[in-house]
Amino acid sequence: MFSSFMMNAWIVATIVAMLAGVTGFFVVLRGNTFAAHALPLGTFPGAAAAAFAGVNELSGLVVFAALGVAGISQLGRRQRNDVATALTLIFLLGLGTLFLSLSRDYAQGVYALLFGDVLGISRAEIAPVAIISGAAVAATALLFRPLLLSAVSTDLAAACGVSARWMEFLFLSILGLATAMALPVVGALLVFSLMVGPASAARLILGRPLPAMLLSVAIALLTVWASLALSYVTNWPVGFFVGGLAACCYAAGRAFQWFAQRAQVPSSSTSALLG
């Protein structure tokens, strides 16, 4: 489980989990779950475009992530955000179909980007993932208060001199980087669950923003680590365990919230009687 080829998987999965936990908190808080689902799907064709152009796969993913962010933010000025996100996704998937048809040799790599290939990570890929992920986490930390204000109340953010539109664009840019980094690890169809599942559970358990974000990171780390271990033991896909465990984390969060609310009802009734 901790052999030389598995160490690359453990390192990169840990980096991606930390990134997903941080960005996922704001995905849930800001209601950007559709964008978190659409950006990975619209980004993975960038790998086919990179193969067709003969450049590094990561550069193609980042470029298509940038196209997705630009499309959602620009179209969102004239359309509802969900409509803008859908139109951008359709356009990027259309480009992906074109590049896949032009570079038939890359068709075998589509499965890996859809469902993840964490065990195929090479040592040379660790540094770029760590650098870009670190930049995304640092940007989120610097923008923590403005992002929080614009998510809670646009009027309050405006009163504090924070532009909600600019915060939306900046956060989508961070989200685009995060999805581009996570694709080779958990795949386009499951990066959504890694971002949303742990963060949703953390929000149900803790109400304060910073502790909830830290809990989101912890749950994401446990999800990825457990998924790697279970995949090694069973020889089943890592993505299956990521999606299943993320859903279980959310269910556990809902159960915790239900029990917490039930515990408050008797104490409130007793206080009212005593009062």
CA dihedral 114, 115, 116, 117 (to 10 degrees): -110
Percent of residues in the chain assigned helix, strand, coil, to nearest 5:
85, 0, 15
Give which of 175, 190, 273 is closest to 238, Cα–Cα.
190
Once rounded to an integer, what is the mean pLDDT over residues 3-8? 74
185, 122 contact by CB (below 8 A): no
Report pLDDT digits (tens) over 37-64.
Answer: 788 888 878 877 887 777 777 788 888 8
Residue 273 has pLDDT above 50, yes or no: no
Mean pLDDT score across all residues of the chain: 81
For residue 108, name the pLDDT band (cuts at 50, 70, 90). Answer: low
Residue with more model confidence, 76 or 16:
16
Phi, psi of 237 (to 5 degrees): -60, 140
Give which of 33, 66, 40 is closest to 239, Cα–Cα.
40
Once rounded to an integer, what is the mean pLDDT over residues 128-139? 87
pLDDT at 213: 94
Residue 274 has pLDDT above 50, yes or no: no
Give which of 10, 60, 29 is closest to 228, Cα–Cα.
10
Residue 271 has pLDDT above 80, yes or no: no
For residue 193, name the pLDDT band (cuts at 50, 70, 90). Answer: confident
Which helix or strand (DSSP H or E) is residue 171 part of?
helix 164-186
Report the Cα–Cα distance between both ends of the chain, in Å, rounded. Answer: 60
Residue with more model confidence, 60 or 115:
60
Number of CB atoms found within 10 A of residue 225's CB: 15
Number of CB atoms found within 10 A of residue 208's CB: 9
What predicted TM-score, i.e. pTM, was given to this entire model? Answer: 0.83
Residue 272 has pLDDT above 50, yes or no: no
Once rounded to an integer, what is the mean pLDDT over residues 195-219? 92
Residue 198 to residue 14: CA distance in whole angstroms: 14
Q: Which domains does the chain have, with CATH numbers?
A: 4-274 (1.10.3470.10)
Report pLDDT digits (tens) over 140-187.
Answer: 999 999 988 888 877 777 788 888 788 888 888 888 888 877 777 667
pLDDT at 267: 52
The first and second tokens of residue 160, run together, are 């504090």
For the chain, percent of residues with pLDDT exceeding 70: 85
The first and second tokens of residue 29, run together, are 């808080």
For residue 200, name the pLDDT band (cuts at 50, 70, 90). Answer: very high
Residue 260 to residue 251: CA distance in whole angstroms: 14
